[in-house]
Structure 1
Amino acid sequence: MAKITVSHPSALVDQKVSIKVCGLDRNQPITLKASLSEGKLRFASFGWFKADHDGNVDVSKSESLNGTYQDVDAMGLFWSMKPEPDIPSSSRLFKRDVTTPIDIHLSVFNGHLQWENLFDQSCSPLAETDIQRWYKAPNVRREIVKVGKTRGALYTPPGPGPFPAVIDVFGSGGGLIEHRAALLASHGFLTLALAFFAYDDLPVNMGEISLDYMIESTEWFASLPSVRDGKIAYVGVSKGAELAMLTALYCPKVMSIVSINGPPFVTGLSLPGRFAKHSHVEVDFDHVEMLDEGIVFSDSYFPKDDDFTKVWESDVKMLTILAGDDKCFNAKYSHRQHELIPEDKKKNFDMITYEGAGHLIEPPYAPFARASYHKLLQMNMMWGGSAKEHSYAQEDAWKRTLDFLKTNLGDPVPAVHDKHLTSNL
């Protein structure tokens, strides 16, 4: 009788797992399917395998002959997930409630089935099992923050502290996004998921974003007794990384930044008041493309050298993570910023570009989204990239992010102590 076993049936999302199927006939062809539901969305993936002479398939060693991914890849069934046939193809898997796991159902079928046949209710699996993937370790504490003007969610690892501390910010979609902050806290970092517009009583429009708000929130967070040495790092993607660079110029408590495809100059509207000295670069709509998949902004900015944020005028260290096929923001802009850094400061700045990756470089094994609906623009946004290359970028970039934070903030104590939950630490 066929049976599926998983090495870590309950684990953090960045933990690799080993999936094995045993009890098959020698050389038996099978289809292995992974599926999940998150809110109204449903995603799935599949691979074709052939059992060895002992009737076993080990996904970490066996080649997927066809499916949503091919070749040998232990985590291929995770990152290659895509919307099921009746779900819009532009849907993006997004974990809103990190206090619950992503529940993934694994099933194995006899023979090599096509994608459309995998959703036929009359198709009976040979074996099934369920696994859980978590962003937040059980002993990480989550608290909603509403202090002064600051709005967000604070994730505190177990233990007395103080902890190495991180502010985590996302981009132009707005709202409060918590999954990466929860995962960072699960790795032992005190982490503030910081909202900066379109949440609670914050401004509704991105054009009303306040740098004073970012500075005030940063200083409040750095003052917490649970923050080690009163020093913090930023992890930001897109608009969030842009704001992190600007904030570092006014807050000496910001010691380091991880910028993920962040604009190295002020985009959109100019900053008000005392920050107006930072020139802004507007979108040139003559160079915006409208494709069937979505809107492309990658080559629609034309900055001058004086427009670039002179983040090197602070004492910050920065890791810049870039996507070579970013359809939202071209990596060439960040390369130019790097060229402008004075030679005596270049040692503080590191940069890596992942060719074939798109804009949304998330923690490892998150399903690839080449395009998805952008609620601010109310249309599909092209992010770019290809699934396999993007997946590699996510795995490697996450390792580099954790190593960079440990180097600059000190080693954390991992939050995973529950015997039913594992991590790769």
Structure 2
Amino acid sequence: MSFNDTRLDARDTLNRKVTQLSSFESSMSPQVHLHLLPSTRCLFDEPIHAKVAGLGSGQVVTMRARATDERGVVFRSAAIYRADGGGELDLCRDAALCGTYEGVEPMGLLWSMRATVPHKYFHWSKALSPHVVRFSVHDGVDVEEEERGGALAEATNERVLMGEGVTREVVDLGKCSTVLFIPPGEGPFPGVLDLSTFMSEKRGSLLSNKGFVVLSVAVLYDKPANIKHLELDYFEKALRFLQQHPKVGSDGLGVIGRSKAGDIALSLASFLPGVRAVVWINACSANIGTPLHYRGRQILSPLTANLTKIMPTSDGASIFKFCTSDPDGEENRTSRIPVENASAHFLFLAAEDDLNYDCRTYMESMVARLRRAGNENVETVCYPRAGHLLEPPYGPHCHSSLHGYLRERVIWGGEPRAHVHAEVLAWKKVEEFLRSRLSCPHTNTKAKL
């Protein structure tokens, strides 16, 4: 469905409901209050509880949210609600009648925010700046256009990536700057190497809030066109830096990565000692995109792709899922990552509506190889109707955007409601897995606001 079609469908839904709603005659109190509980300031991955008081009995209102990302792109959402007999509205209890989402969705105004232009990803990756969202309440029904006139009430939510006491340090490992996050307390703490295809501090800072020392590293440390091969030596250097840090426990390290970063995480565990736990999210079982070298020689060739299998769609973005060659094909054996050689514990998270990778098939193949090799330390979770961009929860769901490596607009997949609920579950699972596999004594400290 195209961006314009989405807007038309929303307008049709609205028109069907307006007749039922517009008969209300306002008898609202002049003192309308919008409360964000427990506080207007919270960690990025924490839910908030929005409540409105002082409305008229049964009053129909439009709830809105608006934010601007790091690149200046505006995102917004809107939903229609009816107050109860006491003039109150509770987003944890009351159902949205229509808008960018429907039903009881306490965080719906956040995850359903859409860019005002199509094919935009919500960029918020720098840990020092809070993600600021403006919530507002407006009289009557109008979800299609930017609000006209003043709001009945407003509140601003600051969603912070770094909790109190977490420290951030830029570390130069030679290729590009990496960022180290250390939780409050004396430690020792579990150490985690957080790999992102392109540099992002979001996941690393949020994991540090939970009691992990995290080094966030970009896999593509230059423009893709300038990278002739990737060097596993660079990521080994990052691992050894973490391993030797005085606040990191000595029982092994964790590595987490999604997409291209996921296959680098697998390679670290397969070729190098010291990796105790791997979180693989919607990635491939083979080396994608560019040759992988170690100590001056190629250890994995790139998995080939057939770009004639790109599937264009009517909204100007394409599906790339079916372009990648079969990693288990004999012709691709030199690109297949030998996970059967790894001794680490693995957590594989696969979204079943991923339109970038056939990640469930890749996951099942790796599980079979690991078990044939005698490694039963494997956990798998599949998320129906979730898409490729499985991230820490409560950010805007991204349907399509520019692929940073291919430089093409692609559809990522995922039904929005199911996808964002999967993000909540996956994020909790990641923390539980890393904590259980990388446990250190006296590491119960977590960062709070």
Structures share fold, TM-score greater than 0.5: yes
Q: In structure 1, what is the equivalent of residue 243 of structure 2?
A: 222
Q: Deviations over 1:176-195 (max 9, x none)?
A: 21111011111111000012
The verdict on how the C-alpha distance between 1:333 and 1:402 changes in structure 2, with shifts beyond 3 A counting, is: same
Deviation at 1:138, TM superposition (A): 3.2
Counterpart-to-counterpart distance in 1, 2:224 and 2:53: 55
The answer for the alignment partner of 1:62 in structure 2 is 94
Corresponding residue of 2:310: 288
Taking only aligned residues, the RMSD between alpha carbons, in angstroms, comes to 2.0
Q: TM-score, normalised by structure 1?
A: 0.90
Unaligned segments of structure 2, at least 5 residues:
1-30
SS of aligned partner of 1:194:
strand
- Mapped partners of 1:273, 1:181: distance in 2: 26
5+ residue gaps, structure 1: none
| Aligned counterparts of 1:135 and 1:273: Cα–Cα separation in 2 | 34
Structure 1 residues 138, 204: CA separation in 2 closer, same or farther (over 3 Å shift)? farther
Q: Deviation of residue 280 (structure 1)? A: 3.9
The whole-number CA distance in structure 1 between the counterparts of 2:366 and 2:426 is: 20
Whole-angstrom CA distance in 2 between matches of 1:230 and 1:146: 25
Q: Is 1:27 the counterpart of 2:58 in the alignment?
A: yes
> Is the counterpart of residue 186 in structure 1 residue 209 in structure 2?
yes
Query: Which residue of structure 1 lines up, in the alignment, with residue 10 of structure 2?
Result: none
Bigger radius of gyration among the two: 2
Other structure's SS at 1:20 match: strand
Letter in 1 for 2:248: V
Q: Please tell me whether the aligned partners of residues 370 and 376 of structure 2 are also in contact (alpha carbons under 8 angstroms).
A: no
Structure 2 residue 179 is the aligned partner of structure 1 residue 153: yes
Q: Letter of the aligned partner of 2:230 in structure 1?
A: I
> What amino acid does structure 2 have at the position aligned with 1:104?
V
1:233 maps to amino acid: G
The 5-angstrom pairing of residues 129-140 of structure 1 reads 129-140=155-166
The answer to whether the Cα contact below 8 Å between 2:230 and 2:291 also exists between their aligned partners in 1 is no
TM-score, normalised on structure 2?
0.86
Q: What is aligned with 1:196?
A: 219
Query: Distance between the aligned counterparts of 1:18 and 1:383, measured in 2?
Result: 29
Tell me if structure 2 keeps the 8 A contact 1:6–1:17: yes
Letter paired with 2:62: T
Deviations 1:114-146 (A, max 9, x none): 321xx14x4221111111111111321111111
Between the aligned residues of both structures, percent identity stands at: 28
Q: Distance in 1 between matches of 2:404 and 2:301?
A: 27
Cα displacement (A) at 1:38:
2.3
Does structure 2 conserve the Cα–Cα contact (< 8 Å) formed by 1:151 and 1:196?
no
Deviation at 1:76? 0.9
AA of the residue aligned to 1:90? H
Q: Do 2:211 and 2:444's aligned partners in 1 also have CA atoms closer than 8 Å? A: yes
Which of 67, 89, 94 is 1:36 aligned to?
67
Q: CA deviation at 1:376?
A: 3.3
* 2:36 is the counterpart of 1:6: yes
**How far apart are 1:160 and its partner, in Å?**
1.5
Query: Does the Cα contact within 8 Å between 1:197 and 1:204 map onto a contact in 2?
Result: no
Q: Across the two proteins, how many residue pairs are aligned to each other?
A: 407
1:329 aligns to what?
357
Q: Separation in 2 of the partners of 1:348 and 1:96?
A: 32
Whole-angstrom CA distance in 1 between matches of 2:411 and 2:255: 26
Q: Are the counterparts in 2 of residues 219 and 251 from structure 1 also a CA contact under 8 Å?
A: no
**Equivalents in 1 of 2:104, 2:375: separation in Å?**
39
**Residue pairs, 1:234-253, within 5 angstroms:** 234-253=255-274
Distance of aligned partners of 1:12 and 1:158 in 2 relative to their CA distance in 1, 3 Å threshold: same
Match of 2:143 in 1: 114
CA contact (8 A) 1:269 1:282 kept: no
Q: Deviations over 1:237-272 (max 9, x none)?
A: 111110011111232211001111111111233334
